[in-house]
Structure formats: structure tokens, C-alpha cells
A and B are shown apart, each in its own frame.
Chain A
């Protein structure tokens, strides 16, 4: 260690490195811990999450879809109902995986297991912990999304070669939700407060142009939904899997980029305030 030989207390002798006190470049160790913990305790729970969007696709898309018929996209293209909702469910799969890990699991580790207290008494910094946990949550979202897209492929619901880009898109979506989820959770103190997350997630899932176009809503409600993160994910992925690609999709990418950065910054600050006061 370079520091150990320093005998001088004067701060001028060594330059302060504010970033280094936040980040040791070792988010990997936090992720490794997550994998080991998952492998030894709850991997079945993790795998079970794969099936939720598939059940929705079968029930709503294939079942209900026979009554609905085709849907016309904004570019005039007609697609089958399953092909319309499948990309939305793909975005939801990424969101759910990321949210499970970054909210309830993080809440437990923070409030009860004192896991972060232990981590932050090592050479890890708060950004290592935030990044490690968020990337882990992202991977869970990615796992669900990849599984779901394989099902889409088998059912012939990927209508364009652009669908290949849906994979990086869902990674972005999972990253955004994981980042924002952990940031919000870091302010939560009780189970009652955590329930508010569910209270917001469910309507967002149902109403973000997931099962029908946004145009059925009055204008003001459309604005509200367009402010929500899931709508951007649904639009981005739907554009890619149906081949309805235009420059406007980049706005959705930007939305998630901002969400990721803000989430990471807030989480890092909160971890520092909570455990390195």
C-alpha cells in the first residue's frame, strides 16, 4: 500500500482524490457476492420470474388476441395483436427483473441484513456498491428479456431484423429501472413505504400503451403516461421488433440514459450519507 508509508498528516502532502473515496473500481466483487447469494438461496425464485410475461403473452396475446384482430401502427403498418403486445411485455420483463432486485432485495439488505454497512467498512466505496447492485439487477432483467425474446422468435413475433437491437434496448431499460429503483429504495424506511412502489408499478404496467395504443386516452392523460419510464421502453422496443424505426426512438434512449445517471448519482450519495456519515 502506498498510503502506509506516509507519516505526514498535512493534506497537502497527498492530493485528495474525491472520486477514489467513492469508487474503488471493484463493483465486480459486489456482483460476485450477489451471484453466490442467489446460487445458494433463491435461484428458483429468480427463474420463476421468467414465466410471468410469457403467461401474459399467452393469455392476452393469443387468447384475447383472437377477439381483437390486427392493430394499426403509427406508420400505417398492420400487425397482429400478439405482435403488438409482445414487445411491450418484453420491456415489462426487463423492468420487472430489474425492479425486483433493486427494490425489495435492496431494502432487505439495507434495513435488516446490514450488508452495505459491512461492505463499506472495506475498501469498497459507495459507487462500487451502487454499481454492483444495479448491474446485478440489470442482469436479472436481461435474463428475463432474453428468455422472452426467444419465445417471441419461436412464435414468429419478431417482425424485423431491427429486433436484434431490442436486446441492447432492454439492457438499457433494465439499467434505467435498476438504477432508479435502488435510488428510490434508498429513501424507504418501512414496508408501508415499499408498498407504494407496487402501487405505482401495476398501473404503469397496465396503462403504458402496453395492451392498446395511447390514442384511446384524452390528451392530458397521454402526457402523464408519456412522462412515465415504461412508456418510453414500450415504444422503443415496439419500434424495433415491428420494424417501425425512426429517429424519434433516440428520445427514448436519452430518457433512459438520464434515468441511469440520475439513479446512480442519487444512490451513491444516499449510500454515502447513510453509511459514511
Chain B
């Protein structure tokens, strides 16, 4: 395995008494695509800001490309590309100017920046929009321009904070395709998301973060294996009977060693063979209104680890 480009050990960030990040440790290898998954307020963005060398840690160790961000902020930032959670494109400048000016912030020569700007506009599928106003772009285009801008300094690590939040499915898939190409080219990606499909699409490895600490770590497949079953059976009995039947199922299935989750609208039975469980249920004389057998997803892992209650 190549030397890690990001090393975090017991990373803590406190705001007054509140610990936004409370002892996180992880390593990201060069060329790896690494995800931070978690609900809102889990500490993902705070972690990203520390890795991006724009926020100082309260305690713990952090090394980015072998350097300490508290001491070598500018050197580290010169090797990073940053896609923040909300676009902060320069609305007083046109599309291509955004790239040119941003490249100059890194002190890069004008000619090099101009050449890269054209390549990146093509990469971001923004040809023909060079002179457009930023405000006139669609959400997906703005996001792609932000990514193009983050690549202007040819960064070794690209930090993406919720890259597709708020985009429609078409725009998300285009964006995923672009990010996948970067990954193929060997760019190290560190991304936060609360979309499970995004994490499964893009991440080689990920950590599930909640309340500032790491709940689990591994590849998407490993996490599903460790924290869920192969399949999930979802059965609905209608709102009136759900709780009552659910309790019965929980007793019966629980005795078989299966995990059963009773939700207000349906009952989930975690099993390696969903069809077999469904047969057992119907044989017991229960008639679900609807039933569905599906593969376990990262979402099941996520909900199991971070809970179903709304964090607000």
C-alpha cells in the first residue's frame, strides 16, 4: 500500500465546550477514494475543514502529505482542491474568469492557468459557457465549475463536501461520472456525503461518523457484511395492524436469531435468505399487504449505526 497522504489520529475540534469532532482517527492512501458518512451535524464538514488546513485542531495529530496543517497551511493548501458544501464561485466574474483568477491565487503563471482553464472547461462539460455569468448556470453546472476550479492547481487531494446535495438525478450522475474519471486518473478523493448510493458509487473505503466519533470503518461491502445481513425482507400489514403483527413477528423471528425492526409503516426482517422468511410468515397465516425482498444496502448499515431518530 502506498504511503498515506492523510493521517488523522485522535483528532478533536472543540467549539467552547462542544466537541464537533471528538477523537477521529483514519488514514487515506494515495489514489484512494475515501468517504466520511454521517447525518447532519456529525462533524464531517469540521473534519474536512481541518484536513483542508483552514481550521486548526484542538488536539490530536493530523498530517496532510506529510505536513502539519497548523504549521504549513499554505503549502498544504497549494496541493489541495476544495469543493465546499455551498458553492462560493465568484459571481462578479464570468465562468472562464473564475478559473483564471482562482489559478492566480496559487501564484501559477498566467499561460499555464489559461491552458488548464480550457482543459478543465472541457472536462466539466462547460464548453460554450466560457463567457456566461455564474448566476445564469444551473445547479449542476455551478457544481461542475466548482470542481473544475478546485482542479486548477492540479491538486494531489480533492476534498468534496457533499458534492451532489441539491442536484437532480441527471446532474448527479454526470457529476459522479466526472469524479470517477478523476479517481481513475489517480487523484485522491476525500468526500463527505449522506447519500448512501453516492458512497457506494465513489468510495473505496469509508467511515460512518456520528456525534463526532467514528462508528464503523471499511469498504461498502465489508460494512454491509459486518453490520447487516445479505438480504432484507420488508413487509407491510397496514398502519392499523403493523405494530401488533410486528410484535408477534419480532418474538417469532427473534427466536430464530434474526433481527427484526418494527417501523410505523412496515416491518424489516434482516436475514440471509429473505424469500425463505417470507414463506415462513405466510405459512404462519399472516397476510402482508405488500412484501419486498432486497439486498442489504449501506443505508441499512447507516441507519443501524446512527439510529432512525431525527437529529435536530
Residues of A within 8 A of B (CB): 1-9, 11, 14, 16-17, 20-21, 24, 26, 29-30, 32-33, 36-37, 40-41, 113-115, 117-125, 275-277
- Please name all residues of chain B whose beta carbon is closer than 8 Å to the beta carbon of A20 when the two chains form the complex: 74
- Quick check: B107 and A123 within 8 Å, CB to CB? yes
- Please name all residues of chain B whose beta carbon is closer than 8 Å to the beta carbon of A276 when the two chains form the complex: 54-56, 73
User: Can you identify 23 A-B contacts, CB atoms within 8 angstroms?
Assistant: A3-B66, A4-B65, A4-B79, A6-B66, A9-B7, A9-B66, A11-B71, A14-B71, A24-B74, A29-B107, A33-B104, A40-B97, A113-B90, A115-B90, A118-B84, A118-B102, A121-B84, A123-B105, A123-B107, A124-B105, A125-B74, A276-B55, A276-B73
A10 to B81, CA, bound (A): 25
Most B CB within 10 A of own CB, among A14, A33, A37: A33
- Please name all residues of chain B whose beta carbon is closer than 8 Å to the beta carbon of A1 when the two chains form the complex: 75, 78-79
- Quick check: B77 and A36 within 8 Å, CB to CB? no
- Quick check: B105 and A119 within 8 Å, CB to CB? yes
A36 to B56, CA, bound (A): 33
B76 is an interface residue with CB less than 8 A from chain A: yes
- Quick check: A122 and B156 within 8 Å, CB to CB? no
- Given known pairs A24-B74, A123-B74, the reply for A277 and B93 (CB within 8 Å) is no
- Given known pairs A21-B74, A122-B78, the reply for A37 and B90 (CB within 8 Å) is yes
A135 to B66, CA, bound (A): 36
- Quick check: A4 and B156 within 8 Å, CB to CB? yes
B52 is an interface residue with CB less than 8 A from chain A: yes
B3 is an interface residue with CB less than 8 A from chain A: yes
Task: List B134-161 residues whose CB lies under 8 Å from chain A.
Answer: 153, 156
User: What residue in chain B is nearest A30 (Cβ atoms)?
Assistant: B105
- Please name all residues of chain A whose beta carbon is closer than 8 Å to the beta carbon of B67 when the two chains form the complex: 3, 6, 14
User: What residue in chain B is nearest A25 (Cβ atoms)?
Assistant: B107
B217 is an interface residue with CB less than 8 A from chain A: no
- Quick check: B73 and A3 within 8 Å, CB to CB? no
- Please name all residues of chain A whose beta carbon is closer than 8 Å to the beta carbon of B91 when the two chains form the complex: 113
B101 is an interface residue with CB less than 8 A from chain A: yes
Given A40-B92, A121-B54, A122-B78, 4 more A-B residue pairs with CB atoms under 8 Å apart are A6-B65, A21-B71, A26-B104, A115-B90
- Quick check: B102 and A122 within 8 Å, CB to CB? yes
User: What residue in chain B is nearest A21 (Cβ atoms)?
Assistant: B73
Tally of A-B Cβ pairs under 8 angstroms: 114
A30 to B75, CA, bound (A): 18
A37 to B100, CA, bound (A): 12
4 nearest A-B pairs in the assembled complex, by CB-CB distance: A37-B92, A114-B88, A3-B75, A123-B78
A17 to B54, CA, bound (A): 16
- Quick check: A9 and B107 within 8 Å, CB to CB? no
User: What residue in chain B is nearest A124 (Cβ atoms)?
Assistant: B105
A29 to B106, CA, bound (A): 8
- Quick check: A26 and B105 within 8 Å, CB to CB? yes
- Please name all residues of chain B whose beta carbon is closer than 8 Å to the beta carbon of A4 when the two chains form the complex: 65-66, 79, 156
- Given known pairs A1-B79, A40-B94, A113-B91, the reply for A120 and B54 (CB within 8 Å) is yes
A29 to B78, CA, bound (A): 14
Shortest Cβ distance from residue A17 to the other chain B in the assembled complex, whole angstroms: 8
Choose one: B65, B101, B156; the contact of A32 (CB below 8 Å): B101
Shortest Cβ distance from residue B112 to the other chain A in the assembled complex, whole angstroms: 14
- Quick check: B101 and A121 within 8 Å, CB to CB? no
Task: List B1-52 residues whose CB lies under 8 Å from chain A.
Answer: 3, 7, 52
A93 to B72, CA, bound (A): 42
- Please name all residues of chain B whose beta carbon is closer than 8 Å to the beta carbon of A277 when the two chains form the complex: 55-56
- Please name all residues of chain A whose beta carbon is closer than 8 Å to the beta carbon of B72 when the two chains form the complex: 3, 14, 21
User: What residue in chain B is nearest A125 (Cβ atoms)?
Assistant: B74
User: What residue in chain B is nearest A28 (Cβ atoms)?
Assistant: B104
A29 to B73, CA, bound (A): 18
